[in-house]
Structure 1
């Protein structure tokens, strides 16, 4: 297996920071955005992981589907 030498940027083109300084598009902080191109592959993976956690729903529920059907046995 070959080591990955390029990590795709999480940028979605929606570059707007919220009140906490988190990008609404990718979930990165400004300092993570700025240092992305100079970061090592390992650091880029870490940044992507932290950004993904920031973008998850606050209630901890990763299931974004909405169902009007009750859960019946």
Structure 2
């Protein structure tokens, strides 16, 4: 069985929460930022899926 690759934090050191408590730098909620360090691999994958969705819906997103 292959070991799970570490999931890197999406933090870009531009912390600025919007009115919904979502960081405009990494697109994580304040709660997700707080629990990141003690989250399991699967929980981090779930957070990253939400991050991708939020980023796509952001007015700053471009492909």
The TM-score, its normalising length taken from structure 1, stands at 0.73
Long gaps (5+) in structure 1? 66-73
State the SS of the aligned residue for 2:48: helix
CA RMSD of the aligned region, Å? 2.1
The TM-score, its normalising length taken from structure 2, stands at 0.83
> Which structure: greater helix fraction?
2
Long gaps (5+) in structure 2? none
Detail structure 1 runs of 4+ shifted over 4 Å in the superposition: none
